[in-house]
Homo-oligomer: A and B are copies of this chain.
Amino acid sequence: MSQERPSSATMADVARAAGVSTGTVSRALRGQSGVSDAVRRRIVSAAEDLDYVVSPAASGLVTGRTGSVAVLVPFISRWFHARVLSAVHQVLRGAGFEIVLHHVEGTAERREFFGTLPVRRRADGLVVIALSLTDEETERLGELGIPVVGASTRPGGHPSVGIDDVEGAAKAVHHLANLGHEHIGMIRTTDEEGIHQGVSRRRLEGFRSAMEERGLPVARDAVVSAPWGVDGGARAMGELLSLRRPPSAVFAEADDVAVGALRTLRRSGVAVPAGMSVVGFDDSPVAELLDLTTVGQSVHEQGLIAGRLLVEAVRRRAVAEPQVQLETQLVARGTTSAPAKARPDR
């Protein structure tokens, strides 16, 4: 409750208490060699007695390091982003960094971030989570002069971790095709803000190429777009249901979108999976909740790896394996089955 800052002890206080110079204290406390054990012990205990904490401002001023890493993340309340952030945080804290959060939800915030680069002079590195960058934005990050790492996005030539979205989408298609579906639709997101346009594009590409591979035609109106989220997915499903010939199965770009599709199907009285199969992407908690077949990815691990890549990049200046790609797995649940027509009627 007492509002007066306890004007904590300085290194000089510790030095005095231990009967040595500040230089020695500095060396001792940072675990550098060249300090006798006896002296080091005296210093450490004096520091503890005085409840001493080194001033990051003062040491940072000398070393040029900040001891913190910035994390740029859109839509923190989306499960995926929060999970990656959580893992990144875990690794970076473990490595002794502070995590400075830069949350950009709208276009304005995004523009401000890249316009002012509030990270300059304030971070030793930057992790970008799930934000597809424009070329200009990538270039701006380059001006930072600090290591940049991407998680579920590829910021220019910087190290990054992610999944093979093309392959993931293809798995969804193959699963449906293997069940006997021939008329498969897809729901994409419009993403006005370009948050995840890269991901979106690649999943569409995977969808198309797998369809082609299976010799299945993609009707022009079988790929519909809607805003991200449940409502968007619901609307898109409505569109598909109003085609002269609706597909028998749908691949949604993300679970959150698939969930909306399921809602429309329920409200329209279309049985799932009998009347319509649905596959999502991400394997989010809601997918399990609704028994949604989906393409899973290890979100936590992506965060862990991104954190490690950054620590590596900050410590030395080269990263062993700069582009990490994790596997996806199709998680078969209750929203997919053979199409009604093709189903042998036993």
Which chain A residues have a beta carbon within 8 Å of chain B's beta carbons? Answer: 1-6, 8, 53-58, 60-61, 64, 66, 68, 71, 76-77, 79, 82-83, 85-86, 89-90, 93, 98-101, 103, 105, 118, 120-122, 142-143, 145-147, 156-158, 230, 259, 263, 285-286, 289, 317
Q: How many identical subunits does the complex contain?
A: 2
Residues of B contacting A55 in the complex (Cβ-Cβ under 8 angstroms): 61, 121
- Contact assessment for B6 and A289 in the assembled complex, using a CB-CB cutoff below 8 Å: no
Residues of B contacting A61 in the complex (Cβ-Cβ under 8 angstroms): 55, 57-58, 61
Residues of B contacting A101 in the complex (Cβ-Cβ under 8 angstroms): 71, 85, 89, 99-101
Residues of B contacting A66 in the complex (Cβ-Cβ under 8 angstroms): 57
Residues of B contacting A4 in the complex (Cβ-Cβ under 8 angstroms): 145
- Contact assessment for A53 and B1 in the assembled complex, using a CB-CB cutoff below 8 Å: no
Residues of B contacting A54 in the complex (Cβ-Cβ under 8 angstroms): 121
The 5 closest A-B pairs by CB, nearest first: A77-B82, A57-B60, A5-B145, A57-B61, A99-B101
Residues of B contacting A3 in the complex (Cβ-Cβ under 8 angstroms): 145, 147, 317
Residues of B contacting A122 in the complex (Cβ-Cβ under 8 angstroms): 56, 98
Complex-state Cα separation, A230 to B79, whole angstroms: 15
- Contact assessment for B100 and A86 in the assembled complex, using a CB-CB cutoff below 8 Å: no
- Contact assessment for B145 and A6 in the assembled complex, using a CB-CB cutoff below 8 Å: yes
